Amino acid sequence: MERIILLIAAVIIGAMLVWVALFPPNPQQARVPDILPPEVPWFEQEVLQARETVIVDFGAAWCGPCRVLKPMLDQLETEFAGRVKIVPVDIDEEPELSAHYKVDGVPYMFVYRDGELVAAVQGLIPDYTELVQFIRPHLPPPAAVSDAEADPPTEAAAGSPDDPVTAPSEPAPPGSPEAASAR
């Protein structure tokens, strides 16, 4: 009898592992609502015309989970500077905007990329790593290194004695190869 119970338990656990592998859970991802952007001038400028990914964070001063989420969003904005921007919206101060988005609980985040709503999540994402995993697919690629930073300066660009901008700041010591080439 004991062997039968162990066999049944092993089959159930195996089936659960297969199910999770085939259909990984993602409880925080909300359905992206089919909502037209609001006709609010600051929203258009701050969100729709932004070059970086924008997280519109609906919250409230009295909301405990919102206070837990705020430092993580600040860290996200710092870590991905130039690639993500956080736009906080207090539902008590912007009731029309909250109604427009049908925000029925906070925190509620809407993610915009290139002016398009691409993701939404309602509720607290309690772990910073999970927050990064949620937002990473929606981030633009890191800015390419500029040509000036990628190419090291050549000898000619490093210091021409006739150019006050690139002239060496100190004369080369006597007997050094630099002093010999300057003659």
Residue 98 belongs to domain spanning: 27-138
Domain assignment present for 22: no
pLDDT of residue 71: 97
Residue 21 lies inside a defined structural domain of this protein: no
Judge whether 34 and 63 are in contact, CB under 8 Å. no
Q: Is 30 a residue of the active site?
A: no
| Distance separating alpha carbons of residues 171 and 182, to the nearest angstrom | 9
Pairwise CA distance, residues 150 & 148, whole Å: 6
Q: Of 54, 56, 60, 63, which is the active-site residue? A: 63
Verify whether residue 63 is a known catalytic residue: yes
Domain harbouring 84, CATH code: 3.40.30.10
Strand ranges of the sheet holding 84-90, from the earlier edge strand across to the other edge: 29-30, 116-122, 108-113, 53-59, 84-90
Reading the block at residue 109, the tokens are 């985040």
pTM of the model: 0.62
Question: Hunting for tokens 């705020």 — which residue is that?
Answer: 70
Q: Name residue 141's amino acid.
A: P
Per-residue H/E/C for 113-170: ECCEEEEEEECCCCCHHHHHHHHHHHCCCCCCCCHHHHCCCCHHHHCCCCCCCCCCCC
Position 6 in a domain: no
Residue 164's pLDDT is 45
pLDDT tens digits for range 132-173: 999 999 999 887 333 333 444 444 444 445 544 444 444 555
Q: What is the pLDDT of residues 96-135, one digit of tens each?
A: 999 999 999 999 999 999 999 999 999 999 999 999 999 9
Catalytic residue among 47, 54, 66, 69: 66
pLDDT tens by residue, 53-63: 999 999 999 99
Interatomic CA distance for residues 70 and 75, integer angstroms = 9
Structure tokens belonging to residue 141: 């690629």
Residue 165 within a domain: no
Query: One-letter amino acid identity for 29?
Result: Q
89 domain residue, yes or no: yes
pLDDT at 31: 57
In which band, very low, low, confident or very high, does the pLDDT at 176 lie, cut at 50, 70 and 90? low
Is residue 81 situated within a structural domain? Answer: yes
More confident residue, 104 or 28: 104
